[in-house]
Amino acid sequence: MEMLRTVVKAWKIPDLRKKLIFTLAMLLVFRIGSQIPVPGMDREILAQTFDSETGLFALFNLFSGGAFSNFTIFALSITPYITASIILQLLTIAIPSLERLSKEGTEGRKKIAQYTRYLTVVLAIIQAIGVSVGLFRKALISTDPFSVAVIVLVLTAGTAFLMWLGEQINEYGIGNGISLIIFAGIIARLPSAIQEIWTKLQEGTMSIVTLIIFLIFCIVVIIGIIEVQQGQRRIPVQYAKRVVGRKMYGGQATHIPLKVNQAGVIPVIFAMAFLQFPLTITYFMDSQSGAAAWITKWLSPGGTPGVWVYAAFNVVLIIFFTYFYTSVTFNPMEVAQNMKANGGFIPGIRPGRATVEYLNRVMTRITFVGAVFLAAVAILPTIVSQLGGLNFHFGGTSLLIAVGVALDTMKQLENQMVMRNYQGFLK
Q: Are 188 and 35 in contact (CB under 8 A)?
A: no
Beta bridge partners of 298: none
Q: How far apart are CA 79 and CA 400, in angstroms?
A: 17
Give CA–CA dist 362/346, Å, rounded.
13
Domain count, the chain: 2
Render 286-304 in DSSP notation, one character per residue.
-TTSHHHHHHHHHS-TTST
CA atoms within 13 A on the CB side of 15: 6
Same domain flag for 205 and 182: no
Which residues of the chain, if any, have pLDDT below 70?
1-4, 6, 48-59, 241-251, 280, 282-289, 292, 300-303, 306, 381-396, 420-427
Identify whether residues 388 and 405 lie together within a single domain: no
Question: In sequence order, what are the residues at sequence separation of 6 or more whose Cβ sits closer than 8 angstroms to the Cβ of residue 23?
Answer: 169, 173, 174, 175, 180
Same domain, 174 and 246: no
Q: Cis (ω within 30 of 0) for the bond into 278?
A: no
Asked whether residue 104 is assigned to any structural domain, the reply reads: yes
Q: Which residues does 387 contact at the CB level (< 8 Å), separation at least 6?
A: none
Q: What's the predicted TM-score (pTM) here?
A: 0.78
Give the span between the Cα atoms of 272 and 53, in whole angstroms: 13
Half-sphere exposure of residue 321, counting CA atoms within 13 Å on the CB side?
A: 22
In whole angstroms, what is the distance from residue 139 CA to residue 33 CA? 21
Is residue 195 a part of any domain in this protein?
no
What are phi and psi for residue 314, nearest 5 degrees? -65, -45
Same domain for 237 and 172: no
The CATH number that applies at residue 160 is 1.10.3370.10
Residue 110 lies in a domain: yes
The amino acid present at 350, given as its one-letter code, is: R
CA dihedral over 119, 124, 129, 135, signed as positive or negative: positive
Q: Name 242's bridge partners.
A: 249
Secondary structure E strands in 29-90: none
Is the domain of 314 the same as that of 220?
yes
- 173 in a structural domain: yes
Could you tell me the CA-to-CA distances from 408 to 176, 301, 401 in Å, in that order? 8, 31, 10
Looking at residue 285, its pLDDT comes to: 64
Beta-ladder partners of 236 = 255
- The verdict on residue 148 lying in a domain is yes
**75 residue type, one letter:** A
Both 329 and 383 in a single domain? yes
Q: Sign of the C-alpha dihedral, residues 265, 270, 271, 276?
A: positive
Same-domain pairing of 83 and 228: no
Residues 225 and 150 in one domain: no
194 domain residue, yes or no: no
Q: Is residue 267 part of a domain?
A: yes
Domain that holds residue 345: 200-392
pLDDT of res. 122: 93
Q: Which DSSP state fits 240? A: P
Q: So what's the pLDDT on residue 421?
A: 57
Based on the fold, state whether residues 105 and 254 are members of the same structural domain.
no
Give the number of residues written for the chain.
Answer: 427
Ranges assigned E (strand) in 208-367: 232-239, 241-244, 247-250, 253-259, 344-345
Q: At what angle do helices 266-275 and 396-418 cross, to 10 degrees?
A: 160
| Torsion region of 192: left, alpha or beta (phi above 0 gives left; psi -120 to 50 gives alpha) | alpha
What's residue 306's pLDDT?
Answer: 67
In a domain, 331, yes or no: yes
pLDDT of amino acid 249 = 57
Same domain, 172 and 206: no
Round to whole Å and give the CA distance between 81 and 37.
21
C-alpha closest to that of 375 among 396, 360, 393: 396
Q: Are residues 66 and 146 in the same domain?
A: yes
Residue 176 phi, psi (nearest 5): -85, 120
Residues 25 and 164 in one domain: yes
* CA–CA distance, 151 with 75 (Å, rounded to integer): 11
For 70-113, write each residue's pLDDT tens digit: 788 888 888 888 888 878 877 887 788 887 887 777 788 888 88
8-state DSSP, 38: P
